[in-house]
Amino acid sequence: MAALTRAGSTVMVFTGFDPKAFPVLRLIRGKSAVLTMHVREIAARYNCLITDLWTMRILTDRRLWTPDRLHLTPDGHRRVALLACEVAGLAPGADWRALLQVAEPTSGFVGQAATWAAARWNDVEWVFEHAAPYLSRRLHGVSSGDGVVPKRPELTALHPVAARPVLRSPSPAGRDQSDDEALDDPRGLSRASR
Whether 34 is in a domain gets the answer: yes
- Sign of the C-alpha dihedral computed for residues 34, 39, 42 and 48 taken in this order: negative
Domain contains 54? yes
Residue 180 falls inside a structural domain:
yes
Q: Is residue 176 part of a domain?
A: yes
> Alpha-carbon dihedral of residues 118, 63, 51, 83, nearest 10 degrees?
-150
Q: Is residue 17 a part of any domain in this protein?
A: yes
Residue 73: give the domain boundaries: 2-104+167-188
Q: What is the pLDDT of residues 18-51, one digit of tens each?
A: 998 887 788 889 999 999 999 999 999 999 999 9
Domain count, the chain: 1
Whether 174 maps to a domain, the answer reads yes
In a domain, 151, yes or no: no
Does this model's pTM top 0.85?
no
Predicted confidence at residue 164, as pLDDT, reads 54
In sequence order, which ranges of 62-152 are alpha helices (DSSP H)?
Answer: 74-87, 108-126, 132-139
Asked if residue 6 belongs to a domain, the reply is: yes
Taking only the tens place, the pLDDT of each residue in 105-136 is 677 887 778 877 887 888 888 788 877 887 88
